[in-house]
Amino acid sequence: MRIVDVREVTKPIASPIRNAYIDFSKMTTSLVAVVTDVVRDGRRVVGYGFNSNGRYGQGGLIRERFRDRLLAADPNSVLNEAGDNLDPHKLWAAMMTNEKPGGHGERSVAVGTLDMAIWDATAKIAGVPLFRMLAAQKGREADPRVFVYAAGGYYYPGKDHTALRAEMRGYLDRGYTVVKMKIGGAPIGEDQARIEAVLAEIGREAQLAVDANGRFDLETGIAYAKMLRQYPLFWYEEVGDPLDYALQAALAEFYPGPMATGENLFSHQDARNLLRYGGMRPDRDWLQFDCALSYGLVEYLRTLDVLHQLGWSPSRCIPHGGHQMSLNIAAGLGLGGNESYPDLFQPYGGFPDSVKVENGHIVMPELPGIGFEGKSDLIKVMRALAE
């Protein structure tokens, strides 16, 4: 049993939207395929992966370093103990050979993308959904019912309150009970009017989260906190620079409600620093580390260990990214839920075709691997790469 090929291609996920920091007019993702010599149900097992929005495709790093290390590893050295499957932890170590610690940069995105494909292949070789495999490995009961929320509310040309309200109404109509919008890309008074328009639209049917995408300095973050705390928000997200733990800690004095952050922390060491120094509150705050940007699930398991050591429950994690990989982790390892972008970043985001959002939750179908085969537009693009 071995990996015979690793393919990669850069794909556009561009759209005319903008958050407080970047626009997505040139956004790309890396799509990768890990091709094995294993056959299941008459078909060669191929694992697929891609990175989340927000960082760009990582073809250069994958081609120049990580792909070759996977292919160069002695096939017997990267099998599990029983010798009947690949071992994602050993493959991860092979990929990270001769990489210094710290400075996580974007190699964490390249590795996270390949790691997703490796776990997909591994669960397909085992013939089980990834979430069931993860739960079994941890001696837990899987819970296929997962909370999901609808992320959107971006800025884009010509988007007035009517369009923003219609977007949010669309999410409610599709079964979501929490919706998210961007702030920090307009003056505070304008953002407040946008928030009030959305709150008037959703009423008691749903809750609203707001996301500043790391735009604010402390003074602005506090000014927004004072404005926002009069509303019953689901959370106030990524207020300041992701690595400014002192800023995050200071905000707690001005914002008693839930806050969320972590999507731009790419290692368990950075996650640990957030929990050590960021003043995050385990009874109400949310952690958004996204394995597809941060060295994959092998590393995310280390992050969950850090959480455990520092007194945090995995149920405080609702990852960024809206991909099926995090849905599997949520269902298998007891996370609090997952992000979803109902109208964006297709075909990569979202759920298998048979899945519907009901009362803010989805139920995972019983598909081997991550479940990409259940999403027809996505698997078509994937198979074009490798099958």
Ligand X SMILES: O=C([O-])CC(=O)C(=O)O
**Positions marked catalytic:** 182, 320
20 binds, among ligand X, Mg ion, none (CB under 5 to 8 A by kind): none
Cα distance between residue 331 and residue 319, in whole Å: 12
Partner whose footprint covers residue 261, from ligand X, Mg ion, none (CB < 5 to 8 Å by kind) = none
Tell me the backbone φ, ψ of residue 309, rounded to 5 degrees.
-60, -30
Compute the least distance from the CB of residue 3 to Mg ion, in Å.
33
Is 320 known to sit in a ligand binding site? yes
Q: Do 115 and 49 meet the contact criterion of CB atoms below 8 Å apart?
A: yes
Chosen from Mg ion, ligand X, none, partner binding at 109 (C-beta under 5 to 8 Å by type): none
The residue number whose beta carbon is nearest to ligand X equals 19
- Residue 118: both structure tokens together: 């490796």
Nearest distance from residue 29's CB to ligand X, in Å?
13
Alpha helices in the chain (DSSP H): 59-61, 67-72, 88-95, 107-126, 130-137, 161-173, 188-202, 218-228, 245-251, 268-277, 296-309, 324-333, 376-386
Q: Is 211 annotated as a binding residue?
A: yes
- Residue 263 is assigned to a ligand binding site: yes
Task: State the nearest-atom distance from the C-beta of 234 to ligand X, in Å.
Answer: 12
The count of C-alpha atoms lying within 13 angstroms of the C-alpha of 110, restricted to the half-sphere facing its C-beta, is 23
Residue written as token pair 């280390």: 302
151 vs 378, beta carbon nearer Mg ion: 151
CB atoms within 10 A of CB 180: 26
Which residue intervals of 62-178 are DSSP H helices?
Answer: 67-72, 88-95, 107-126, 130-137, 161-173
Place of tokens 């749903």: 206
**Residue 98 marked ligand-binding:** no
Residue nearest to Mg ion (CB): 211
Nearer to Mg ion, 316 or 375 (CB): 316
Residue 89 known to bind ligand: no
129 vs 321, beta carbon nearer ligand X: 321
113 vs 213, which CB is nearer to ligand X? 213
Site residues, Mg ion (CB under 5 A) = 211
Closest contact distance (angstroms) between CB of 105 and ligand X is 18
Pick one of ligand X, Mg ion, none as the site partner of residue 339 (Cβ within 5 to 8 A by kind).
ligand X
Say if residue 232 is preceded by a cis peptide, omega within 30 of 0: no
Alpha-carbon torsion angle 6, 11, 17, 23, nearest 10: 70
Cα-flanking dihedrals φ and ψ of residue 34, to 5°?
-105, 110
Instruction: Tell me if 180 is assigned to a ligand binding site.
Output: yes
Q: 111 - beta bridge partners?
A: none
Q: How far is the CB of 325 from Mg ion (least distance, A)?
A: 17
Residue 201, binding choice from Mg ion, ligand X, none, Cβ under 5 to 8 Å by partner class: none
Q: Which residues of this protein are in contact with ligand X, per CB under 6 A?
A: 19, 54, 151, 211, 213, 263, 320, 339
Binding residues: 19, 53, 100, 154, 180, 211, 237, 263, 320
Binding residues for Mg(2+): 211, 237, 263
Binding residues for substrate: 19, 53, 100, 154, 180, 237, 263, 320
